C-alpha cells in the first residue's frame, strides 16, 4: 500500500459525511437494475410461453388443415353382410394416422388395415360387426360409417348393403 493510500483509507472509514448519498444512489441503481431485470425476465417468459402456445396451435391447426381423406368404396360381404371392407384414400397434403372406425355411430374395436396412410395412398380396412349391438341387419340396410383420424378429422357417409 502506498503512503497516499495509507492516509486516505482511515479517513474514508472514519468520516461519515456523504456516505448515505452514495449508498442511496447505489441502492437505487441496484433496485432499478434488479426490478428491470426481473421485469425483462418475466416479460420474456410470458412472451415465450405465449409464443410456444401459439406455435403449437398454429402447427396443430396446420397439420389438421392439411389432412383430407375420402371413403371411396364400402363393401359388405359374408353372412348377413357382417364383414365390411372400407377403402379410404388420403387426398390431402399430409400423412394420416387412422384413429377409429365407427359403424352406425358405434366404435369398432378391432379392424384390419394400415394405421398410417401416406399421401395418395389407398387403405383397405376390414372389420366384422360385433354381435350385439349392431346385429341384426339385412339386405339393403343403410349403414352410417365414419373414419376418424388421430388429428381429429372425420369423414363419414351412408352406404347401403347390396340386395
Residue 89 found at the interface with other proteins (CB under 8 A): yes
The mark string for 103-142 relative to other proteins (x by CB under 8 A, - otherwise) is: -----------------x-x--------------------
Segment 21-60, which members bind other proteins (CB under 8 A)? 25, 28-29, 32-33, 36, 39-40, 43-44, 47, 50-51, 54-55, 58
Whose cell is 378391432? That residue is 110
Q: Quick count: other Cβ atoms within 10 Å of Cβ 72?
A: 13
Grid cell locating 79: 353372412
Grid cell locating 56: 403449437
Min. distance of Cβ 120 from other proteins in angstroms?
Answer: 7
Min. distance of Cβ 146 from other proteins in angstroms?
Answer: 16
Stretch that binds other proteins, among 2-10, 73-81, 103-111, 143-151 (CB under 8 A): 73-81
In the complex, which residues of this chain contact other proteins (CB under 8 A)?
25, 28-29, 32-33, 36, 39-40, 43-44, 47, 50-51, 54-55, 58, 61-62, 65-66, 68-70, 72-73, 75, 77-78, 83, 85, 87, 89, 91-93, 120, 122, 162-163
Amino acid at each position: 500500500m502506498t503512503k497516499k493510500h495509507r492516509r486516505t483509507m482511515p479517513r474514508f472509514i472514519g468520516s461519515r459525511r456523504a456516505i448515505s448519498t452514495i449508498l442511496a444512489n447505489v441502492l437505487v441503481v441496484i433496485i432499478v437494475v434488479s426490478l428491470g431485470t426481473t421485469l425483462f425476465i418475466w416479460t420474456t417468459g410470458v412472451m415465450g410461453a405465449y409464443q410456444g402456445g401459439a406455435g403449437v396451435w398454429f402447427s396443430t391447426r396446420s397439420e389438421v388443415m392439411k389432412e383430407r381423406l375420402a371413403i371411396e368404396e364400402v363393401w359388405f360381404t359374408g353372412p348377413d353382410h357382417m364383414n365390411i371392407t372400407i377403402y379410404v384414400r388420403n387426398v390431402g397434403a399430409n400423412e394420416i394416422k387412422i384413429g377409429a372406425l365407427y359403424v352406425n355411430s358405434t366404435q369398432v374395436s378391432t379392424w384390419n388395415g394400415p394405421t398410417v396412410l401416406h399421401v395418395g395412398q389407398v387403405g383397405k380396412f376390414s372389420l366384422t360387426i360385433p354381435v350385439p349391438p349392431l346385429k341384426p341387419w339385412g339386405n339393403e340396410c343403410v349403414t352410417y360409417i365414419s373414419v376418424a383420424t388421430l388429428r381429429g378429422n372425420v369423414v363419414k357417409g351412408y352406404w347401403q348393403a347390396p340386395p
